[in-house]
Amino acid sequence: MYTPATGNDHYPDSDNTPSGAYIFKPKRGDSDKKQYSTFGKITTMKFETTGVNAFELEYRDEESEEMYTALILTVPGANTLEWEVQLHAIPVSRTSTNTGKEVVANWDLVNFASANTFYTDSNGLEMQKRILNERPDFTLETHEFASSNYYPINSAIAIRDTNSGMQLTVMNDRSQAGSVLADGSVELLQNRRL
Q: Could you report the per-residue pLDDT of 113-141, keeping only the tens digit for each?
A: 999 999 999 887 899 999 999 998 998 88
Report the share of the chain in percent with pLDDT over 70: 93
Domain map (residue ranges) of the chain: 38-193
Residue 131 pLDDT: 94
Residue 94 pLDDT: 53
Report the share of the chain in percent with pLDDT over 90: 43
Residue 119 to residues 15, 88, 188, Cα–Cα distance (Å): 30, 28, 13
Q: Is 147 helix (H, G, I), strand (E, B) or coil?
A: helix
Residue 176 to residues 43, 79, 116, Cα–Cα distance (Å): 28, 24, 20
Architecture per CATH, 38-193: Distorted Sandwich (2.70)
User: Of how many residues is the chain composed?
Assistant: 194
Q: Please give the torsion angle defined by the CA atoms of residues 131, 137, 139 and 141, in that order, rounded to the nearest 10 degrees.
A: -80
Residue 95 has pLDDT above 60, yes or no: no
**For the chain, what is the mean pLDDT?**
87
